Structure 1
Amino acid sequence: MRLAELSERSGVSTATIKYYLREGLLPPGRRVNATTAEYGEEHLRRLRLVRALIQVGGVPVSTAREVLAHVDDDSLGRTIRLGAALWALPQDPEPDEEDPAVTAARTEVDRLLEMLGWETARELAPLSPVHRSLVVAVAALQRLGYPWDAEHMAPYGELMHEVARRDLDYMETFDSEAEKVEVAVAGAVLFQPVLRALHRLAQEEESVRRYGIE
Protein backbone atom coordinates (compact mmCIF):
# COMPACT_ATOMS: atom_id res chain seq x y z
CA MET A 1 0.00 0.00 0.00
CA ARG A 2 1.11 3.59 -0.55
CA LEU A 3 1.48 6.20 2.18
CA ALA A 4 -2.02 7.62 1.66
CA GLU A 5 -3.62 4.18 2.11
CA LEU A 6 -1.47 3.46 5.16
CA SER A 7 -2.69 6.74 6.62
CA GLU A 8 -6.32 5.97 5.83
CA ARG A 9 -6.22 2.45 7.25
CA SER A 10 -4.33 3.42 10.40
CA GLY A 11 -6.09 6.71 11.11
CA VAL A 12 -2.67 8.36 11.42
CA SER A 13 -1.98 11.45 9.33
CA THR A 14 0.64 11.26 6.59
CA ALA A 15 2.61 14.01 8.34
CA THR A 16 2.75 11.96 11.56
CA ILE A 17 3.74 8.82 9.66
CA LYS A 18 6.58 10.73 8.00
CA TYR A 19 7.65 11.96 11.44
CA TYR A 20 7.68 8.39 12.78
CA LEU A 21 9.75 7.32 9.77
CA ARG A 22 12.29 10.11 10.40
CA GLU A 23 12.49 9.22 14.09
CA GLY A 24 13.07 5.54 13.40
CA LEU A 25 9.82 4.43 15.04
CA LEU A 26 8.56 2.97 11.78
CA PRO A 27 10.76 0.98 9.38
CA PRO A 28 11.10 2.42 5.88
CA GLY A 29 8.86 1.08 3.16
CA ARG A 30 10.02 -0.74 0.04
CA ARG A 31 11.27 1.93 -2.32
CA VAL A 32 9.38 1.98 -5.64
CA ASN A 33 11.08 5.06 -7.06
CA ALA A 34 12.80 8.19 -5.78
CA THR A 35 9.63 9.62 -4.27
CA THR A 36 7.37 6.61 -3.59
CA ALA A 37 7.49 3.66 -1.22
CA GLU A 38 5.26 0.67 -0.61
CA TYR A 39 4.16 -0.32 2.90
CA GLY A 40 2.88 -3.64 4.17
CA GLU A 41 0.73 -5.03 6.97
CA GLU A 42 3.76 -4.99 9.28
CA HIS A 43 3.83 -1.19 8.96
CA LEU A 44 0.15 -0.99 9.87
CA ARG A 45 0.74 -3.22 12.90
CA ARG A 46 3.76 -1.20 13.98
CA LEU A 47 1.85 2.07 13.64
CA ARG A 48 -0.78 0.78 16.04
CA LEU A 49 1.92 -0.16 18.53
CA VAL A 50 3.63 3.23 18.23
CA ARG A 51 0.33 5.01 18.82
CA ALA A 52 -0.36 2.77 21.83
CA LEU A 53 3.02 3.60 23.33
CA ILE A 54 2.90 7.34 22.70
CA GLN A 55 -0.79 8.25 22.90
CA VAL A 56 -2.10 5.76 25.45
CA GLY A 57 1.02 4.98 27.42
CA GLY A 58 2.43 8.51 27.35
CA VAL A 59 5.83 7.09 26.41
CA PRO A 60 8.29 9.72 25.12
CA VAL A 61 9.43 9.30 21.53
CA SER A 62 13.02 8.58 22.58
CA THR A 63 11.85 5.83 24.94
CA ALA A 64 9.50 4.38 22.33
CA ARG A 65 12.46 4.22 19.93
CA GLU A 66 14.47 2.27 22.51
CA VAL A 67 11.58 -0.13 23.19
CA LEU A 68 11.09 -0.77 19.48
CA ALA A 69 14.81 -1.34 18.95
CA HIS A 70 14.57 -4.26 21.38
CA VAL A 71 11.40 -5.49 19.67
CA ASP A 72 13.29 -5.59 16.35
CA ASP A 73 16.51 -7.13 17.68
CA ASP A 74 16.24 -10.66 16.33
CA SER A 75 19.75 -11.47 17.58
CA LEU A 76 18.21 -11.93 21.04
CA GLY A 77 16.26 -14.91 22.32
CA ARG A 78 12.57 -14.37 22.99
CA THR A 79 12.89 -14.04 26.76
CA ILE A 80 15.73 -11.50 26.63
CA ARG A 81 14.11 -9.63 23.75
CA LEU A 82 10.81 -9.36 25.58
CA GLY A 83 12.43 -8.48 28.90
CA ALA A 84 14.61 -5.78 27.36
CA ALA A 85 11.62 -4.21 25.60
CA LEU A 86 9.49 -4.19 28.75
CA TRP A 87 12.30 -2.88 30.95
CA ALA A 88 12.79 0.01 28.53
CA LEU A 89 9.26 1.26 29.24
CA PRO A 90 9.00 4.13 31.77
CA GLN A 91 9.50 2.90 35.32
CA ASP A 92 8.96 4.24 38.83
CA PRO A 93 11.68 6.34 40.49
CA GLU A 94 14.49 4.58 42.33
CA PRO A 95 13.64 3.75 45.96
CA ASP A 96 15.42 5.63 48.75
CA GLU A 97 17.68 2.93 50.17
CA GLU A 98 18.10 4.88 53.42
CA ASP A 99 14.37 4.76 54.09
CA PRO A 100 13.54 2.09 56.72
CA ALA A 101 10.25 1.40 54.94
CA VAL A 102 12.17 0.54 51.77
CA THR A 103 14.44 -1.83 53.68
CA ALA A 104 11.44 -3.56 55.25
CA ALA A 105 9.62 -3.69 51.91
CA ARG A 106 12.62 -5.21 50.15
CA THR A 107 12.79 -7.93 52.79
CA GLU A 108 9.12 -8.78 52.28
CA VAL A 109 9.39 -8.75 48.49
CA ASP A 110 12.41 -11.07 48.63
CA ARG A 111 10.51 -13.39 51.01
CA LEU A 112 7.56 -13.33 48.62
CA LEU A 113 9.68 -14.39 45.64
CA GLU A 114 11.14 -17.22 47.71
CA MET A 115 7.68 -18.36 48.82
CA LEU A 116 6.42 -18.35 45.22
CA GLY A 117 9.51 -20.13 43.91
CA TRP A 118 10.19 -17.37 41.39
CA GLU A 119 13.90 -18.08 41.04
CA THR A 120 14.43 -15.97 37.91
CA ALA A 121 12.81 -12.95 39.54
CA ARG A 122 15.10 -13.39 42.55
CA GLU A 123 18.21 -13.62 40.37
CA LEU A 124 17.28 -10.54 38.33
CA ALA A 125 16.13 -8.48 41.34
CA PRO A 126 19.26 -6.26 41.51
CA LEU A 127 18.74 -5.23 37.87
CA SER A 128 14.97 -5.34 37.52
CA PRO A 129 13.01 -2.06 37.40
CA VAL A 130 9.85 -4.11 37.98
CA HIS A 131 11.27 -5.47 41.24
CA ARG A 132 12.13 -1.91 42.30
CA SER A 133 8.58 -0.77 41.48
CA LEU A 134 7.14 -3.48 43.72
CA VAL A 135 9.49 -2.47 46.55
CA VAL A 136 8.44 1.18 46.18
CA ALA A 137 4.73 0.26 46.28
CA VAL A 138 5.09 -2.00 49.31
CA ALA A 139 7.19 0.64 51.10
CA ALA A 140 4.41 3.19 50.53
CA LEU A 141 1.93 0.82 52.15
CA GLN A 142 4.31 0.27 55.06
CA ARG A 143 4.57 4.03 55.67
CA LEU A 144 0.78 4.34 55.74
CA GLY A 145 0.49 1.65 58.39
CA TYR A 146 -0.61 -1.23 56.17
CA PRO A 147 1.75 -4.15 56.89
CA TRP A 148 1.67 -5.66 53.40
CA ASP A 149 3.96 -8.62 54.03
CA ALA A 150 4.89 -11.65 51.95
CA GLU A 151 2.02 -13.74 53.33
CA HIS A 152 -0.50 -11.11 52.24
CA MET A 153 1.05 -10.77 48.79
CA ALA A 154 1.52 -14.47 48.00
CA PRO A 155 -2.10 -15.21 46.92
CA TYR A 156 -1.99 -12.17 44.63
CA GLY A 157 1.31 -13.37 43.20
CA GLU A 158 -0.19 -16.75 42.41
CA LEU A 159 -3.15 -15.13 40.66
CA MET A 160 -0.84 -12.88 38.64
CA HIS A 161 1.22 -15.89 37.62
CA GLU A 162 -1.93 -17.32 36.07
CA VAL A 163 -2.51 -13.98 34.31
CA ALA A 164 1.07 -14.16 32.97
CA ARG A 165 0.48 -17.67 31.63
CA ARG A 166 -2.60 -16.45 29.80
CA ASP A 167 -0.65 -13.45 28.46
CA LEU A 168 2.00 -15.71 26.96
CA ASP A 169 -0.60 -18.16 25.63
CA TYR A 170 -2.15 -15.26 23.73
CA MET A 171 1.26 -13.99 22.57
CA GLU A 172 2.07 -17.40 21.11
CA THR A 173 -0.96 -17.26 18.79
CA PHE A 174 0.95 -14.76 16.63
CA ASP A 175 3.29 -15.93 13.89
CA SER A 176 6.57 -14.01 13.85
CA GLU A 177 8.92 -13.29 16.74
CA ALA A 178 8.47 -9.54 16.16
CA GLU A 179 4.69 -9.90 16.37
CA LYS A 180 4.97 -11.88 19.60
CA VAL A 181 7.12 -9.23 21.27
CA GLU A 182 4.99 -6.40 19.85
CA VAL A 183 1.79 -7.83 21.32
CA ALA A 184 3.49 -8.32 24.69
CA VAL A 185 4.66 -4.69 24.73
CA ALA A 186 1.24 -3.44 23.61
CA GLY A 187 -0.33 -5.54 26.35
CA ALA A 188 1.96 -4.01 28.96
CA VAL A 189 0.69 -0.57 27.97
CA LEU A 190 -2.93 -1.27 27.06
CA PHE A 191 -3.92 -4.26 29.19
CA GLN A 192 -2.90 -2.80 32.55
CA PRO A 193 -5.95 -0.46 32.56
CA VAL A 194 -8.14 -3.48 31.72
CA LEU A 195 -6.77 -5.43 34.70
CA ARG A 196 -7.17 -2.41 36.97
CA ALA A 197 -10.78 -1.89 35.87
CA LEU A 198 -11.62 -5.59 36.25
CA HIS A 199 -10.11 -5.54 39.74
CA ARG A 200 -12.30 -2.60 40.76
CA LEU A 201 -15.40 -4.14 39.21
CA ALA A 202 -14.71 -7.38 41.06
CA GLN A 203 -14.34 -5.44 44.32
CA GLU A 204 -17.70 -3.75 43.71
CA GLU A 205 -19.34 -7.08 42.94
CA GLU A 206 -17.87 -8.83 45.98
CA SER A 207 -18.81 -5.91 48.24
CA VAL A 208 -22.44 -6.08 47.17
CA ARG A 209 -22.51 -9.86 47.61
CA ARG A 210 -21.11 -9.60 51.13
CA TYR A 211 -22.72 -6.43 52.43
CA GLY A 212 -25.65 -5.64 50.14
CA ILE A 213 -26.22 -2.27 48.52
CA GLU A 214 -27.69 -0.34 51.43
Structure 2
Amino acid sequence: MIEFLSKNDAAAIARIHKENLPGILSIYPVSVLKEFYELQLSNASKNFALGFFENRKLQGFVFGTYRVDEIFNDYIKSAFYYFLFQTFVSFLKNPKLLVYYLKAFFSKKRSSFCPVQLVYIAVDQNSKKKGIGQQLLDAFENELSRNNINYFELEVEQNNPALRFYRKNNFETILEINNWMEEKFLLGKEL
Protein backbone atom coordinates (compact mmCIF):
# COMPACT_ATOMS: atom_id res chain seq x y z
CA MET A 1 0.00 0.00 0.00
CA ILE A 2 1.33 3.46 -0.91
CA GLU A 3 0.91 6.30 1.57
CA PHE A 4 2.21 9.81 2.07
CA LEU A 5 5.15 9.87 4.46
CA SER A 6 5.67 12.36 7.26
CA LYS A 7 8.62 13.35 9.40
CA ASN A 8 7.56 10.53 11.75
CA ASP A 9 8.73 8.12 9.03
CA ALA A 10 12.17 9.73 8.75
CA ALA A 11 14.04 6.97 10.62
CA ALA A 12 12.69 4.24 8.30
CA ILE A 13 13.40 6.37 5.23
CA ALA A 14 16.95 7.05 6.46
CA ARG A 15 17.60 3.33 6.98
CA ILE A 16 16.45 2.43 3.47
CA HIS A 17 18.42 5.35 2.02
CA LYS A 18 21.63 4.40 3.84
CA GLU A 19 21.41 0.73 2.86
CA ASN A 20 20.29 1.12 -0.76
CA LEU A 21 21.31 4.40 -2.36
CA PRO A 22 24.73 5.31 -3.70
CA GLY A 23 26.00 8.85 -3.50
CA ILE A 24 27.60 11.33 -1.20
CA LEU A 25 24.70 11.66 1.25
CA SER A 26 24.92 7.93 2.02
CA ILE A 27 28.35 8.34 3.61
CA TYR A 28 26.76 10.11 6.56
CA PRO A 29 25.35 8.21 9.55
CA VAL A 30 21.66 7.32 9.63
CA SER A 31 21.17 10.07 12.24
CA VAL A 32 22.14 12.73 9.67
CA LEU A 33 19.84 11.21 7.06
CA LYS A 34 17.00 11.05 9.59
CA GLU A 35 17.44 14.72 10.45
CA PHE A 36 17.61 15.60 6.74
CA TYR A 37 14.30 13.86 6.01
CA GLU A 38 12.60 15.25 9.14
CA LEU A 39 13.37 18.77 7.94
CA GLN A 40 12.37 18.08 4.34
CA LEU A 41 9.08 16.42 5.26
CA SER A 42 8.12 19.19 7.65
CA ASN A 43 7.77 21.52 4.66
CA ALA A 44 4.98 20.10 2.51
CA SER A 45 4.88 23.18 0.29
CA LYS A 46 8.36 22.32 -1.01
CA ASN A 47 8.73 18.54 -0.66
CA PHE A 48 6.84 15.29 -0.40
CA ALA A 49 7.52 11.59 -0.01
CA LEU A 50 5.47 8.51 -0.68
CA GLY A 51 6.15 5.12 0.83
CA PHE A 52 5.25 1.56 0.03
CA PHE A 53 4.19 -0.38 3.13
CA GLU A 54 3.83 -4.10 3.55
CA ASN A 55 2.71 -5.46 6.91
CA ARG A 56 3.01 -1.91 8.29
CA LYS A 57 6.73 -1.83 7.44
CA LEU A 58 8.20 0.67 4.97
CA GLN A 59 9.62 -1.26 2.00
CA GLY A 60 10.49 1.65 -0.27
CA PHE A 61 10.06 5.37 -0.75
CA VAL A 62 10.18 8.13 -3.31
CA PHE A 63 11.15 11.66 -2.29
CA GLY A 64 10.46 14.65 -4.51
CA THR A 65 10.74 18.39 -4.32
CA TYR A 66 9.17 21.41 -5.92
CA ARG A 67 12.32 23.45 -5.10
CA VAL A 68 15.40 21.37 -5.92
CA ASP A 69 17.64 24.41 -5.55
CA GLU A 70 16.77 24.73 -1.85
CA ILE A 71 16.64 21.27 -0.26
CA PHE A 72 20.28 20.77 0.64
CA ASN A 73 20.87 24.42 1.54
CA ASP A 74 17.86 24.37 3.88
CA TYR A 75 19.27 21.36 5.71
CA ILE A 76 22.79 22.74 6.01
CA LYS A 77 21.45 26.07 7.32
CA SER A 78 19.28 24.35 9.91
CA ALA A 79 21.96 21.98 11.21
CA PHE A 80 25.18 23.71 10.19
CA TYR A 81 27.45 22.71 13.08
CA TYR A 82 26.10 19.19 13.29
CA PHE A 83 26.52 18.76 9.53
CA LEU A 84 30.02 20.26 9.67
CA PHE A 85 31.02 17.91 12.49
CA GLN A 86 29.61 14.84 10.69
CA THR A 87 31.38 15.90 7.48
CA PHE A 88 34.68 16.21 9.38
CA VAL A 89 34.18 12.75 10.94
CA SER A 90 33.43 11.36 7.47
CA PHE A 91 36.65 12.90 6.13
CA LEU A 92 38.61 11.24 8.92
CA LYS A 93 37.07 7.87 8.11
CA ASN A 94 37.53 8.29 4.36
CA PRO A 95 40.02 11.01 3.28
CA LYS A 96 39.05 10.55 -0.40
CA LEU A 97 35.79 12.33 0.43
CA LEU A 98 37.71 15.57 0.94
CA VAL A 99 38.87 15.37 -2.67
CA TYR A 100 35.29 14.73 -3.77
CA TYR A 101 34.02 17.78 -1.86
CA LEU A 102 36.78 20.00 -3.21
CA LYS A 103 36.04 18.88 -6.74
CA ALA A 104 32.34 19.58 -6.21
CA PHE A 105 33.09 23.02 -4.84
CA PHE A 106 35.29 24.02 -7.77
CA SER A 107 33.45 22.28 -10.59
CA LYS A 108 31.16 24.04 -13.02
CA LYS A 109 27.57 23.73 -11.87
CA ARG A 110 25.06 22.18 -14.24
CA SER A 111 21.98 24.11 -15.12
CA SER A 112 18.38 23.05 -15.12
CA PHE A 113 15.43 25.35 -15.24
CA CYS A 114 13.09 22.77 -13.74
CA PRO A 115 12.64 23.09 -9.97
CA VAL A 116 10.56 19.89 -9.72
CA GLN A 117 12.73 16.84 -9.18
CA LEU A 118 12.49 13.25 -8.11
CA VAL A 119 15.37 13.38 -5.66
CA TYR A 120 15.50 9.81 -4.35
CA ILE A 121 13.71 6.56 -4.97
CA ALA A 122 14.77 3.41 -3.13
CA VAL A 123 13.45 -0.04 -2.31
CA ASP A 124 14.68 -2.17 0.55
CA GLN A 125 17.04 -4.92 -0.67
CA ASN A 126 14.69 -7.63 0.67
CA SER A 127 11.79 -6.24 -1.37
CA LYS A 128 13.41 -5.76 -4.77
CA LYS A 129 12.01 -7.35 -7.93
CA LYS A 130 8.43 -7.08 -6.69
CA GLY A 131 7.40 -4.03 -8.75
CA ILE A 132 7.57 -1.66 -5.77
CA GLY A 133 9.82 0.82 -7.56
CA GLN A 134 7.35 1.02 -10.45
CA GLN A 135 4.43 1.55 -8.08
CA LEU A 136 6.34 4.32 -6.30
CA LEU A 137 7.24 6.05 -9.58
CA ASP A 138 3.63 5.81 -10.78
CA ALA A 139 2.34 7.26 -7.49
CA PHE A 140 4.91 10.07 -7.67
CA GLU A 141 3.84 10.96 -11.20
CA ASN A 142 0.16 10.82 -10.21
CA GLU A 143 0.81 13.23 -7.35
CA LEU A 144 2.58 15.66 -9.68
CA SER A 145 -0.29 15.41 -12.20
CA ARG A 146 -2.81 16.01 -9.41
CA ASN A 147 -0.94 19.26 -8.71
CA ASN A 148 -0.97 20.25 -12.41
CA ILE A 149 2.74 19.59 -12.89
CA ASN A 150 3.46 18.04 -16.26
CA TYR A 151 7.26 17.78 -16.26
CA PHE A 152 9.99 16.78 -13.81
CA GLU A 153 13.63 15.77 -13.78
CA LEU A 154 16.03 13.51 -11.90
CA GLU A 155 19.76 12.83 -11.83
CA VAL A 156 21.27 9.37 -12.17
CA GLU A 157 24.85 8.15 -12.34
CA GLN A 158 25.71 6.77 -15.76
CA ASN A 159 26.70 3.38 -14.30
CA ASN A 160 23.62 3.06 -12.06
CA PRO A 161 21.47 0.01 -12.91
CA ALA A 162 18.39 2.22 -12.29
CA LEU A 163 19.15 3.99 -15.57
CA ARG A 164 17.53 1.08 -17.45
CA PHE A 165 14.40 1.46 -15.25
CA TYR A 166 14.19 5.18 -16.09
CA ARG A 167 14.67 4.57 -19.81
CA LYS A 168 11.91 1.94 -19.71
CA ASN A 169 9.67 4.61 -18.14
CA ASN A 170 10.22 7.11 -20.98
CA PHE A 171 12.73 9.46 -19.38
CA GLU A 172 14.82 11.42 -21.87
CA THR A 173 18.37 12.67 -21.45
CA ILE A 174 18.40 16.43 -20.92
CA LEU A 175 22.04 16.82 -20.06
CA GLU A 176 25.08 14.58 -19.85
CA ILE A 177 27.44 15.54 -17.05
CA ASN A 178 30.93 14.24 -17.79
CA ASN A 179 33.69 15.98 -15.95
CA TRP A 180 36.57 14.99 -13.75
CA MET A 181 34.22 14.74 -10.79
CA GLU A 182 31.14 12.90 -11.96
CA GLU A 183 29.46 11.08 -14.78
CA LYS A 184 25.72 11.56 -14.56
CA PHE A 185 22.66 12.11 -16.66
CA LEU A 186 20.01 14.70 -15.98
CA LEU A 187 16.83 13.02 -17.19
CA GLY A 188 13.45 14.61 -17.78
CA LYS A 189 9.95 13.31 -18.31
CA GLU A 190 6.74 14.82 -19.64
CA LEU A 191 3.58 13.59 -17.95
Judge same fold: TM > 0.5, yes or no.
no
Higher-strand-fraction structure: 2
TM-score normalized with structure 2 length: 0.27
Structure number with higher helix proportion: 1
The structure number with the bigger radius of gyration is 1
